[in-house]
A and B are shown apart, each in its own frame.
Chain A
Amino acid sequence: MRPLIVIRHTPNIDFMRWHKLAFAFSLFLALLTAGLFFTQGLNYGIDFVGGTTIEARSLDGPADLAAMRSKLDALHIGQPSLQGFGPPTDVLIRIPRQPGGDAAQMQAVAKVRQALGSHIQYRSVEVVGPSVGSELVRAGTIATILAMVAIAIYVWFRFEWQFGVGAMISTLHDVVTTIGLFALLRLEFDLTTLAAILTVAGYSVNDTVVIYDRVREAMRKYRTMSLRELINLSLNETLSRTILTVSTVALAVIALLVFGGPVLRGFSIAMLWGVVIGTYSSLFIAAPVLYYVQPNRAAIGRSVDTPKAPRAQRTM
């Protein structure tokens, strides 16, 4: 049984021709993110800032948002927001963080439950006190930074430090622009988004490593080829793999986005963006960066093999 679709020839695309444009574009995205981040900031979920989210379902037909709102307004618990959510019976209620520490959040929920009465089914209630929220912000930031440092160190050990720099820059790029997407679209940034961002970082490096592996191999094989040509060659040789892998991952993520339900929406959006931007950055950022940091080709040529995962280079 033969495949139906085959890319018969290695393409010959001059990726390096586009790299300056790509750098400019990415710089623009990064600056845009920074601008959005520092002006309007992220739409943090209660995981990070504390507060309450309630998913309620009215048991007597469509939910009466106005009536519910007036009941909640009478409680004086800040500015609760109500919005329809899925079927007309469902309402998503957000209560901002209450002044007065962890216990105050819990009291607010008890009040809301009392005020809304018994003809409400609570599909989910999430209350996060401010002390946990600030811890999660810290842990999340540390995790993201550590992930990137760990990845850079790993790539540095497996390759040369120049490759580590390239991987770090492109991973940072992907993480930053994913945050930028959330700032731009005002999507809720919560713990699962953070998980998605860390996964994006992992995926992005994964993609970059595959290309770097090929660049290094080409450096050993074609000692006299110019670095620019060499990068182009490696990108072209791995292009079909790049496209196929991004496709399968994207297919899985789209399945999640469409069928995974509202809880996973933020996660899926972050992943989908991350997969696409991660592929772009491997092609147009990570690889061209090598052109500027100039790996030590003589050293790579000498080291036929790296100790960690021996490969059959000798057969060449």
Chain B
Amino acid sequence: MNRQNSFEKDFPGYIAPQKIEEVLEILSKYGKEIKIIAGGTDLLVQYYDRLYEVSAWLDLKNMEELKEIKIDQNQIEIGAMATHTQLESSADIKRYYPVLSQAASDIGSPQIRNRGTIGGNIVNASPAGDLLPALIAYRAQFKLVSHKEESIVSAEDFFLGPKKTILKPEQLLSKIIIPIPEQNTYSSWIKIGKRKALIVATVSLALVLSMAEDNKIIKEVKVCLGSVAPTPFEIMEIREKMIGRQFNQLDFNELGQLVEDRISPIDDIRGTKEYRQDVTKNIMINALKKIYETWRQSR
């Protein structure tokens, strides 16, 4: 009871701090009781469905420094409050991270993209989160800050399960840091859903591949999937089948099958397990074909 009173005294159910230090201070005291709100496009849907109670909102809308997208020679830093509209209209993201750019432009609708943020998409940790396969594929790292300390964690270590992450109540996701891909990097993004706008992905796939300097041998590859496992994840087994080889040594069908064998989809309103298996194999093959075409034309 006393605790509730002190909480109410500090702020009346809603606060929008001007400084990040203030946000972290509030989180260190009341991290378990309050809900951080950014765009609200996922959070408010869940809230009004009465999936949980909220005693107070901590609104990040005044965190100007978290809305910036900054690029230098080595990496890009995307503030957690950057909206999907910002991501899809950023020339730097389009140039260096086309899959992230396309994934952002495939989200929801103009109304949703104008409000929804990259940080929200990440901490919401939906298995179908549209930006997540791309972030893993591009080796994104997340900066987590708290009153006491800050840490950097890689995207693939952040997600624990549907709606579950390693983020602690006193922590804030502040930035997403992605290294600039090497030259000769090719990528493909495929999102499958029942329609184009306002759809939660039935399956999604981000494939990012880098060729060696000679542009002949595959140096690095990441195949990441959404909506077919408890978290977005990378198919690690693909690496040994592709790295060090040339395109003409690859069997696209076999690679598609390998991806299908490694996923663990469920039946839900968006599709059956069997449907997801078939489609996953096919989109893997299509992504490889698309990348192969782009590579061939670039030579």
A pairs with B: no
- Give the B-binding residues of A (Cβ under 8 A): none
